[in-house]
Amino acid sequence: MLLLKLKHNNGIPLYNQITDQIKEMIERDVIKPGYKLPSTRTLADRLGVNRSTVYEAYQELWALGYIESRPGSYSFVRKRQELATGNTRKTKSIIPWNKQVSPASENIYRTLHLIRSEYTAESVPPNVINLSPLTMDKRLLPVEDFRKCMNKVLRESGTKVLDYGESNGYGKLRTYIANRLQLHSISVTADEVLITNGSQQGIDLILRLLTEPGSKIAVESPTYSLIIPLLKYFKLDVVSIPMLADGLDIDYLEKVLRKEKISLIYTIPNFQNPTGVTTDQVHRERLLGICEKHRVPIVEDGFEEEMKYFGNAVLPIKSMDKGGVVIYIGTFSKVLSPGIRIGWIAADKDCIERLAAIKRYSDLTSNAVVQGAIYEYCSRGYYDLHIKRMHRIFARRMKTAIKALRKYMPAGKVSWVEPAGGYLIWLKLENHKLDTLKLNKAGLRNGVLVSPGPYFFTGNKRGHEYFRICISTLNEEEIERGIRNLVKTIIQLEKS
Amino acid sequence: MLLLKLKHNNGIPLYNQITDQIKEMIERDVIKPGYKLPSTRTLADRLGVNRSTVYEAYQELWALGYIESRPGSYSFVRKRQELATGNTRKTKSIIPWNKQVSPASENIYRTLHLIRSEYTAESVPPNVINLSPLTMDKRLLPVEDFRKCMNKVLRESGTKVLDYGESNGYGKLRTYIANRLQLHSISVTADEVLITNGSQQGIDLILRLLTEPGSKIAVESPTYSLIIPLLKYFKLDVVSIPMLADGLDIDYLEKVLRKEKISLIYTIPNFQNPTGVTTDQVHRERLLGICEKHRVPIVEDGFEEEMKYFGNAVLPIKSMDKGGVVIYIGTFSKVLSPGIRIGWIAADKDCIERLAAIKRYSDLTSNAVVQGAIYEYCSRGYYDLHIKRMHRIFARRMKTAIKALRKYMPAGKVSWVEPAGGYLIWLKLENHKLDTLKLNKAGLRNGVLVSPGPYFFTGNKRGHEYFRICISTLNEEEIERGIRNLVKTIIQLEKS
């Protein structure tokens, strides 16, 4: 006999009280699987409630899996599958993920795992000057102006930006970017711009569009470290083009293009990551010329286009791209804010539309809320002012870095190329027996971290004699201190 | 003889004046390629300026490609590559993108192109009731509360959210989501949650992780239309599991799993898109049981988990997942805002970490700014209030829709399944000679649009007798009017 006690007017609906009490009886084994529940009519009469109240309670119990047949006919208690909780969950998944995932995915995971097990930004002790990360100086993030713009856009266009955005990106922002690219002599329309989640997604989309497993692609070596695992993931056949003092070895590239079918070439012509090299006009014209001749798309990563604070601006390759072979990548991450995750691709419309189709199926659109705020920020002139400020600050910081290197580095032991802008300096230990992968262990004791060369190389060259320093997060005092700590570290390494 | 006129104190730096004037002479052909420029010393003497001023001007001209050798030795005018402008750009790219991209990409592009050439949300005349799109009613977007939260987070944690975020997503938001999933009896920790750019990116990442070209995956047919082109793009071998009145045909699935190696099964157990079917507890237990037995990951898309406004909530499959085989996908897009692009995956930690690695290389992290604001919105209780409001409104709207269907639909000509919540109703024309792909042409004249069945089917079945209606963007008056217009359209179609 099912003994239920209902309280009227205690705020809990009657059907909930019935559900909860029966549920508890089942869970406490007071009534067992197979137990036949009274019909809805019988129970309703007995409790003095409406039949529909009992019906609703039974339906809930059925939905939750506590009773067996649909209400209406007789219902029986059933053994419900236990919930998975901290106690009942197996400590290990019964799926062996490391084996069940695609080998390429496992590879990318292991690579990341290796990198993570090293010093990450969070694990660095506060007294250490971290010359490694290419992120922004938090002290320079334009928080207050951005907040005002965000506030304005949510007040004035809130319903627009909280809804799905335009699939190629917020229209006004695409127009702004197209206009801004004109300042760098790049002539594109808003239709030839696709907004991406930072330049990293730009790279991913381009690789998805233009390659298949086994495709040959040409990249500078050394190059941007976060593209290297992606190339492996896509199972690409990487042709490494050596970086020389004035940019990628264009004679070498030309030979490659004459012999092989290359799907694309990825290049960073300004302040190349990691070497800091900026190619000159003649180099750019030659590169464009041979790629036009061989019909090979150039992916021009202009990630620091805006950081030409020393003047003498060489125009982007895209500025001369009459034949539509250059796919240009830009980003706000390295001059405004990486947390907003906004970058863009500017390319021939036929190419942009195909990239947009892949983006559509991979994440629909980019974040409309932040695109709206950034458009506001740019169109009100804050972006121009911010860039001017960044130029002023980093012209000083880079000069400080160069001065400190000249002053403190032991003559003949370390060499470097002075960059024409940006945040990066690439250094070389002249004693080839030293391995820059060992720099950070000693560096941590001396209060400095750098990015060892081998992170950036593709192909056979290991690059253990090189390392990269980055001044983007540090002020002048910190830069000077970091370099002094670095010198101390190198001297120790020489001796050991 | 190089005739330059410099103005002192006109605000333009002298080296800029020199650069500009020489540049203009070259562009106007006053001095021609091969012309030997005076040495820096000679020109400086002649102009009465510092030699370094001329040096700087020459360096700029060299960077811009107007002169040939590096300053220091003699410099010659060179023929600079013309800029690409509206006039000089070729009308068509010399790269045949349709042939040079991967065939899978071209396929995805063509599919999107076909869909776009139909009626899109923007092209619908204002008098037409659009029962097609599964987006949110703009009138219900919680703009003002969201704005307040965004403002607060930018004031208090601006530098944090404008910097690169944590790679698996904003920590506090992951904790909130893990806690909220407890309400649905899902037991996961913040480490088992990965923030994604909406659920679409969740699906993309999971396919990237678990499949390779040729992998067999099981999906319900009909299913979510935007996954279908993605399956083709990944070159997967799709095993279509027919949807029955109570969910996917589990006997059929069991036979498939006994015979074949399946990489994953994708299922939507609540308010399935497009059929609106919600499976019961017994169905869920059986599905979990056979997938555990065969070690096949279940991808459970809980895109409308929060929209159980009729009560009688069946718990997610993930709630019983003791063996860690369920990869659960959630999103804010269908209950809060699609423009914020925030969804999540909850799964076994080993699986989450591997998904996070792929996300890392495909777009680094999701937008930290909006994640911060959404955390604020949720933790201050706005989200709960908003869901309550949505429940109140959509319980009424869905009842209106069902009532209107019962009232106006001609008996015996159209059938449908009444959904247990959500936004979708799946209808069937009993006259099999009719094709729902023809509904919208007539519908547009009568002021109504729907989603024809064939959009949602995989495999051999075309589903031309089915169509989906969605009430998510419409109020009660609009829903009733839309259904009356629909009835008129179906009657016309019957007659023609």
What ipTM describes this predicted complex?
Answer: 0.94
- Please state, as a whole number, how many other Cβ atoms lie within 10 Å of the Cβ of residue A150: 26
Q: Give Cα A25 to chain centroid, integer Å.
A: 51
Residue B53 φ/ψ, nearest 5 degrees: -65, -45
Instruction: Say if CB B307 and CB B388 are below 8 A apart.
Output: no
What was the pLDDT predicted at B74?
Answer: 83
d(CA A385, CA A383): 5
Q: Provide the shortest C-alpha distance from residue B339 to chain A (in Å).
A: 4
CA-CA distances (angstroms) from residue A10 to A7, A17, B203, B299? 6, 10, 45, 41
Closest CB to B211 among A102, A196, A354: A102
B341 and A358 within 8 Å at the Cβ level: the answer is no
d(Cα B443, Cα B486) in Å, to the nearest integer? Answer: 7
* Alpha-carbon span B220 to B223, nearest angstrom: 5
Distance CA B310, CA A450 (A): 58
Can you tell me the distance from the alpha carbon of B328 to that of A50, in angstroms, rounded to the nearest whole number? Answer: 39
Which is it for the CA torsion A314, A315, A318, A322, positive or negative?
A: negative
Tens of pLDDT, residue by residue over B289-337, are 999 999 999 999 999 999 999 877 799 999 999 999 999 999 999 999 9
The per-residue pLDDT for B118 is 58
Mean predicted confidence (pLDDT) in A95-124? 81
Give the tokens for residue B431.
Answer: 């006259």
Q: What is the pLDDT of residue B153?
A: 98
- Which 3 state secondary structure label does DSSP give A107? helix
To which H or E segment does residue B76 belong? strand B75-76
> What residue of A is the nearest CA neighbor of B106?
A354
CB contact under 8 A, B158 and A151: no
**Nearest chain A CA: its distance from B446 CA (Å):** 27
Residue B144: which H helix or E strand, with range?
A: helix B143-162
CB spacing of A322 vs B82 below 8 angstroms: yes
- Burial (CB < 10 A; 0-12, 13-18, 19+), residue B119, is middle
The pLDDT of B97-101, averaged and rounded, is: 93
Quickly count helices (H) and strands (E) in chain B.
16, 16
Residues of chain B neighbouring A350 (CB-CB closer than 8 A): 92-93, 97-98
User: CA-to-CA distance for A47 and B391, rounded, in angstroms?
Assistant: 30
Query: What is residue A2's three-state secondary structure?
Result: coil
Smallest Cβ distance to B200: which of A144, A263, A362? A362
Strand order of the β-sheet with B237-244 is B193-196, B343-346, B326-331, B298-301, B264-267, B216-221, B237-244, B247-248
Closest-CA distance of chain B to residue A190, Å: 13
Which of A479 and A122 is assigned the larger pLDDT? A479
Min Cα–Cα distance to chain B from A115, Å: 11
Q: Beta strand pairing status for B216-221 and B237-244?
A: parallel
Nearest-CA distance from B401 to chain A in Å? 22
Percent of residues, chain A, with pLDDT higher than 70: 98
Q: If you measure CA to CA, which chain A residue comes closest to B347?
A: A93
Structure tokens at B452: 């024809």
Backbone angles phi, psi at A230, to 5 degrees: -65, -40
Q: Which two tokens stand for residue B433?
A: 């000679």
Give A82 or B299, the one with higher predicted confidence. Answer: B299
User: Which SS3 state, helix, strand or coil, does residue A62 take?
Assistant: helix
Measured between CB atoms, which of A106, A163, A338 is closest to B163?
Answer: A338
For B26-48, how does the pLDDT look when each residue is reduced to its tens digit (9 = 90+)? 988 899 998 999 988 999 999 99
Provide the angle, in degrees to the nearest 10, between the axes of the packed helices A368-379 and A143-162. Answer: 130
For A97, which of B94, B154, B351 is closest by C-beta distance? B351
Would the pLDDT of A118 be above 70? no
Cα–Cα distance for residue pair A12/A20, rounded to 1 Å: 11
Check A151 against B155: CB less than 8 A apart. no
Q: Where are the beta strands (DSSP E) in B197-294?
A: 216-221, 237-244, 247-248, 264-267
Cross-chain Cβ contact A367/B94 below 8 Å = no
Nearest to A90 among B155, B324, B341 (CB): B324
Any long-range contacts for A62-70 (C-beta under 8 Å, 24+ apart)?
A62/B280, A62/B281, A63/B280, A63/B281, A63/B312, A63/B313, A63/B314, A64/A23, A64/B281, A64/B313, A64/B314, A64/B315, A65/B280, A65/B281, A65/B282, A65/B284, A65/B285, A65/B314, A65/B315, A66/A22, A66/A23, A66/A26, A67/A37, A68/B282
Tokens of A130: 């971290």
- Name the token pair of B205: 């990442």
By C-alpha distance, the chain A residue nearest B158 is A143
Residues shown for chain B: 496
Q: Which chain A residues are Cβ-neighbours of B57 within 8 angstroms?
A: none
User: Across the interface, do B341 and A360 touch by the CB < 8 Å criterion?
Assistant: no
- CA-CA distance, A403 to A398, in Å (whole number)? 8
Side-chain-side CA neighbours of B7 within 13 Å: the count stands at: 6
How sure is the predictor about B11, in pLDDT bands with cuts at 50, 70 and 90? confident
> Which residues does B355 contact at the CB level (< 8 Å), separation at least 6?
B194, B205, B206, B209, B345, B347
Q: Do B90 and A322 touch (CB under 8 A)?
A: yes
Contact B84 A320 (CB under 8 A): yes
- Min CA distance, B33 vs chain A (Å)? 14
Calpha distance B403→B480 (Å, rounded): 9
- Residue B197 has its nearest CB partner, among A185, A282, A363, at A363
In terms of DSSP H, where are the helices of A72-224? Answer: 97-100, 103-116, 143-162, 171-183, 198-210
Report, as an integer, the average pLDDT of B16-31.
91
Among chain A residues, the shortest Cα distance to B58 is held by: A312
Give me the residues paired with residue A220 across strands.
Answer: A241
What's the pLDDT band for A203 if we cut at 50, 70, 90?
very high
Of A311, A314, A340, the CB nearest to B369: A340
B357/A113 CB distance under 8 A: yes
Q: What is the pLDDT of residues A150-173, one digit of tens each?
A: 999 999 999 999 998 888 999 999
Distance from the Cα of B488 to chain A's closest Cα (Å) equals 31
B364 contacts A112? CB cut-off 8 A: no
Contact residues, chain B, for A322 at CB < 8 Å: 82, 84, 88-90
- Rounded CA-CA distance B296/B317 in Å is 14
Alpha-carbon separation of residue B180 from B153, B190, B278, B490 (angstroms):
21, 11, 21, 43
| Mean per-residue pLDDT, A27-50 | 91
In A, which residues are within 8 Å of B365 by CB distance?
A: 341
Give the integer Cα–Cα distance in Å for B297 and B266. 9
**Cβ-based contacts of B200 with chain A (< 8 Å):** 361-364
Q: What is the pLDDT of residues A314-358, one digit of tens each?
A: 999 999 999 999 999 999 999 999 999 999 999 999 999 999 999
B chain contacts of residue A202, beta-carbon cutoff 8 Å: none
Contact A159 B138 (CB under 8 A): yes
Smallest Cβ distance to B141: which of A159, A200, A311?
A159
**pLDDT of amino acid A461:** 84
Please give, rounded to a whole number of angstroms, the shortest distance from the CA of B470 to a CA of chain A: 16
Given a contact cutoff of 8 angstroms between Cβ atoms, the answer to whether B64 and B80 are in contact is yes
For chain B, what percent of residues have pLDDT higher than 90?
80
Q: Establish, for the pair of chains A and B, how many residue pairs have beta carbons separated by less than 8 Å.
A: 384
| Binary contact (B322, A82; C-beta < 8 A) | yes
Q: Which residue pairs, CB below 8 angstroms and at least 24 apart, start in B108-112? A: B108/A357, B108/A358, B108/A361, B108/B229, B108/B230, B108/B232, B108/B233, B109/A353, B109/A354, B109/A357, B109/A358, B111/A357, B111/B229, B111/B232, B112/A356, B112/A357, B112/A360, B112/A361, B112/B229
Residue A169: the pLDDT is 97
- Over the stretch B211-250, which tens digit does the pLDDT of each residue have? 999 999 999 999 999 999 999 999 999 999 999 999 999 9
Are A463 and A222 a contacting pair, CB within 8 Å? yes
**Is pTM, for the whole model, over 0.90?**
yes
Span A37-65, average pLDDT: 90
Are A375 and B197 spatial neighbours (Cβ–Cβ below 8 Å)?
no
Q: Which two tokens stand for residue B264?
A: 């994953």
With contacts defined as CB-CB under 8 Å, which chain B residues touch A292? 94
Secondary structure of residue A25 in the 3-state scheme: helix
Residues in chain A within 8 Å Cβ distance of B288: 81
Please say whether the dihedral angle defined by the alpha carbons of residues B129, B130, B136 and B138, taken in this order, is positive or negative.
negative
Interface test with B, best of A62, A67, A93, A192 (most B CBs within 10 A): A93
Q: Find the residue in B nearest to A163 (Cα).
A: B339
Which residues does chain B have within 8 Å of residue A314's beta carbon, measured at their own beta carbons? 63-65
Contact list, A84 vs chain B (CB under 8 Å): 186-187, 318-322
Cα-based distances in Å from A223 to A105, A277, B322: 22, 11, 44
Of A85, A112, A209, the CB nearest to B187: A85
Q: Are B162 and A150 an interchain contact pair (Cβ–Cβ within 8 Å)? A: no
Residues in chain A: 496
CA dist B473 → A479, B202, B394, B423, B469 (Å): 55, 24, 10, 9, 11
Q: Does position A374 have pLDDT exceeding 90, yes or no?
A: yes
Q: Please list, in sequence order, all residues whose beta carbon lies within 8 angstroms of the beta carbon of residue A481, skipping any fewer than 6 positions away.
A: A129, A447
Nearest to B209 among A105, A186, A204 (CB): A105
